[in-house]
Structure 1
Amino acid sequence: MSTAEVSGRSLAELVSLQGRRAVVTGGARGLGRAIAERLAEAGADLLIGDIEEELAASTAKEIAERHGVRAISAAMDVTDAASVKSAVDRAVTELGGLEIWVNNAGVFPAVPLLEMSEETWDEVFAVNARGTFVGAREAARQMAAAGNGGVIVNVVSTAGFRGSAPGLAAYVGSKHAVRGLTREMALELAPLGVRVLGVAPSFVPTEGNKLAAAAAGFDLDGIPPTDLMFAAPIGRAGVPDDIARVVLFCASDMAAFMTGSTLLADGGTMA
Structure 2
Amino acid sequence: MSFPFADVSESPVRDLLSLTGRSALVTGGARGLGKAIALRLAEAGARVTIADIDERLAQDAAADVSTRLDARAIGVRMDVTDVASVQSAAAVAVETFGGLDIWVNNAGVFPSMPVLETDDAAWDHVLAVNARGVFNGAREAARHMVQGASGVIVNVVSTAGFQGTAPGLSAYVGSKHAVRGMTKQMALEFAPLGIRVLGVAPTFVPTEGNIAAAAAAMEAAGVDPSTLPVMNQSLIGRLGTPDDIARVVLFCASDMSMIMTGSTLLADAGQTI
Query: What TM-score do the two structures reach when normalised by structure 2?
Result: 0.94
Q: Deviations over 1:30-84 (max 9, x none)?
A: 1000000000000000100001111100100110111122100111100000000
Query: Structure 1 residue 223: deviation in Å?
Result: 6.1
Name the SS for the 2:112 alignment partner: coil
Q: Secondary structure at the match of 2:199?
A: strand
Residues 204-219 of structure 1: pairs in structure 2 closer than 5 A: 204-218=205-219
Q: What pairs up with 1:223-234 in 2 under 5 angstroms?
A: 228-234=230-236
Give the counterpart letter for 2:156 in structure 1. Answer: V
Aligned ranges for residues 27-42 of structure 1 at < 5 Å? Answer: 27-42=29-44
Q: Contact (CA 8 Å) 1:228, 1:237: kept in 2 or not?
A: no
Tell me what 2:169 maps to: 168
1:147 and 1:192 in contact (8 A); partners too = no
Conserved 8 A contact 1:186-1:194: yes
Other structure's SS at 2:180 match: helix
Structure 2 residue aligned with 1:79, among 62, 78, 81? Answer: 81
Q: What's the CA shift for 1:90? A: 0.5
Q: Which residue of 1 aligns with 2:238?
A: 236
CA distance in 1, matches of 2:269, 2:192: 34
- Residue 202 in 1 paired to residue 203 in 2? yes
Would you say the 8 A contact 1:199–1:247 is kept in 2?
Answer: yes
Q: CA deviation at 1:213?
A: 2.4
SS at match of 2:231: coil
TM, length-normalised to structure 1? 0.95
Aligned residues: 268
Equivalent residue number for residue 107 of structure 1: 109
Q: What secondary structure does 1:216 align onto?
A: helix
SS at 1:37's partner residue?
helix
Tell me which residue corresponds to 1:17: 19
Alignment of 1:3 onto 2:2 = no
Deviation at 1:136, TM superposition (A): 0.1
Q: Give the partner amino acid of 1:8.
A: E
Q: Structure 2: which 5+ residue stretches go unaligned?
A: none
One-letter code of the match for 1:201? Answer: P
What CA deviation, in whole Å up to 9, does each residue of 1:138-165 have, x standing for no partner? 0000001x22310000000000001011
The structure 2 residue matched to 1:270, chosen from 266, 269, 272, is 272
Distance in 2, matches of 1:158 and 1:217, equals 18
Q: Partner of 1:232: helix, strand, or coil?
A: coil
> Among residues 139, 142, 160, which one is paired with 2:141 in the alignment?
139
Alignment partner, residue 156 of structure 2: 155
CA distance in 1, matches of 2:41, 2:120: 37
Partner SS for 1:74? strand
SS in 2 for 1:89: helix
Kept after mapping to 1: 8 A contact 2:154/2:197: yes
Aligned-residue offset at 1:12: 0.2
Deviations 1:227-260 (A, max 9, x none): 6435411111111001000000000000011000
CA distance in 1, matches of 2:5, 2:43: 24
* Percent of pairs with identical residues: 64
Structure 1, unpaired ranges of 5+: none
- Mapped to 1, the partners of 2:230 and 2:44 lie a distance apart of 31
Give yes or no for the alignment of 1:117 onto 2:87: no
Structure 1 consecutive aligned stretches of length 4 or more whose deviation exceeds 2 Å: 213-219, 226-231
